[in-house]
Structures are given as C-alpha cells and as structure tokens.
Structure 1
Amino acid sequence: MLIGILLAINIVVCLGLIGVVLLQRSEGGALGMGGGNTGFMTARGAGDLLTRITWILFSVFLFISLILTLLTGRMGGGSAIDRLKIDNLDTKSLNAPAPSTAPATQAPSTAQPGAIQAPTPQINGSLSGAPAATPAPTPAPAQAPAKAPAQ
C-alpha cells in the first residue's frame, strides 16, 4: 500500500519536473517563456523561480526514488538475477546442437523444392472476434486480344 502511494507521488513529481524543465528558457527559446520584459515577471526572476522549483522537484523525486528502492529491496524478493536458478545449469548442454528428429533411414532428397506462395491475406470484418465472411474469389485477369497484323 505504501509503495503504491509513493509510486503515484513519484510519478506526479516526475511529470511536474518535466513540465518545469520544459518551461525554462534555453538558448533557442522555450515552450512557455518569451524573451523580453513584457510579462508579469522579468526573465531573470522567472529563471530564478523555475530553477528553484526544478531543484526542489528533483530533490523530492530523488528522495522518493531512494525510499522506493530501499522498501522494495527489503520485501524479501531479492533481485531478478538472484531468483534465476543458474547454479545447476550444464553449460556444455547449452552450447550443443539440437538433436535431429528426422529418421536416420531417410535418404536426402535431390529434388528442388517448389515455389513458395504466400497465403491470401484475410481481413476480419468486426472487432468482436466473430469470423468474417469469406471473400469472393477474384476473377482471373482477362487476356487482351492479340492485335491483327497490319496490312
């Protein structure tokens, strides 16, 4: 329960941090801040305020992330690598080729394989999972009649 609440707060702080960073003035301009003194704050005052907010949100984000890491580490699960049971694996059997399942008495075929044809794509008519109606077969293209030789 506590981890879920801290994770939700951490996500909100992270989104706030992203927004504040995007509002800051950069060399090429920024999302919400224009150049000049025509706004309700001067550019320097807005920069100082956004810088302070950025540092505060960063500190809160870092602190909550550290607490989340410590709490989930003490839950007893260990790391994902610790849960893998790789101590009893035989490395020689991992690198060995897979055994053949074809019968040994069959002679290799010297005939060339036929042409491979892709299946006709099917479009489902509805999103509910009901089978779509089978499409009507497409007629073969008609051949153009041969031109009569010019006399």
Structure 2
Amino acid sequence: MLQTILLVAMILVSIALAGVILIQRSEGGALGMGGGPSGMMTARGAGNLLTVTTWWLAGIFFLLAVTLTILGNVERADRSVIDPNAIGELAVPPSGQTAPAGTPAAPTPAAPAAPSLQDLENSLSQPSATPAPAQPAPAH
C-alpha cells in the first residue's frame, strides 16, 4: 500500500519536474536557440522561482527513489538467492534409471520429492555399471 502511494507520488513529481524544466528560459544558445525575451516568463524573479522549484522537485524525486528502493528490498531480505529445494535437482536421475552419456539429467515431474544433496554425493561416488561406448569423431 505504501509503495503504491509513493510510486504515484513519484510519477506526479516526475511530471511536475519535467514541466518546470520545460517552462524555464534557455540560459545559453544551445543548438542555435537563443535565450531572448520571447519566453512566457521573462522576469528574473520567475526564473529564480523556477530554479528553486526545480531543485526542490529534484530533491523530492531522489528521496522518493531511495525510499522506494529501501521499501522494495525490505520484503526480499528474508529470502536466499539460492533456493535450497532446487539443489537436489542437479543429481543424476532417480535410482533405476540411467542417463545416456553426454546428456544432462532432467528432473522427472512425477517424482514425489526432489533428491537430496546426499543422493547427489552418492550418485557421483558410485561408478557406472556400463561404460558408455566411445564414439569416433566424424571426419571432415
């Protein structure tokens, strides 16, 4: 709820910031456009007001950005990058099945539970019953 409110506030501040920047008078002759008195607000006081408003809106924008970043990461602090349940999926297929040489083991969807890390260690320590026949390399 708070993130939604802050996100809407950030969108409104972004629109206001873009509008205030576009209203300001050009200070230099960038790209051949002069900074003459043809603008809508030409008084020096209006220029100072727009500059101060730009600074305030920019500060609020950055404050909202940092706050949204912190609030977004608070919920993820409890979780690990590595899913502990997915470690067992690296094991060789369940007992009774043999994988062809050179093909990665694919987890079976009908298995009741993922193999454990102990199953992986056991499967790697056991020599295979039938060695894979060597295939000659194709001649080019």
TM-score scaled by length of structure 2:
0.48
Structure number with the higher helix fraction is: 2
Q: Which has the higher contact order (CA 8 A, sep 6+)?
A: 2
Q: Which of structures 1 and 2 has the bigger CA Rg?
A: 1
TM-score scaled by length of structure 1:
0.46
